[in-house]
Amino acid sequence: MSEANNQLAIALHYDHAGAPRVVARGKGAIGAKIIEVAKANDIPIEENEVLAGALSNVELGDEIPAELYKAVAEVLVFVLRMSGRAR
């Protein structure tokens, strides 16, 4: 994620029912705003350009595809560790 105007951001929500869902996505100013809102709300951010690119094809509100489960699970573990909810 180099220049802010090309920044791609994907926001996921996981409520332990089914798979995580894409709840926001954007590039450029919208991507920067997603990151700004996440930081303002102490939501951990994982920088993963390849995963963000793959998730950018998922429609808003849709569950992530099965082929991305492992990659997203690794991000969820990171987030839980950052939030102190997992060791």
Domains held by the chain: number: 1
Beta bridge mates, 24:
11
CATH of residue 26's domain is: 3.40.1690.10
Which H or E run contains 82?
Answer: helix 69-82
For the stretch 14-58, pLDDT in tens is: 888 889 999 999 999 999 999 999 999 988 888 999 999 999 999
87 in a structural domain: no
66: domain range? 4-82
pLDDT for position 42:
87
pTM of the model: 0.81
pLDDT for position 71:
93
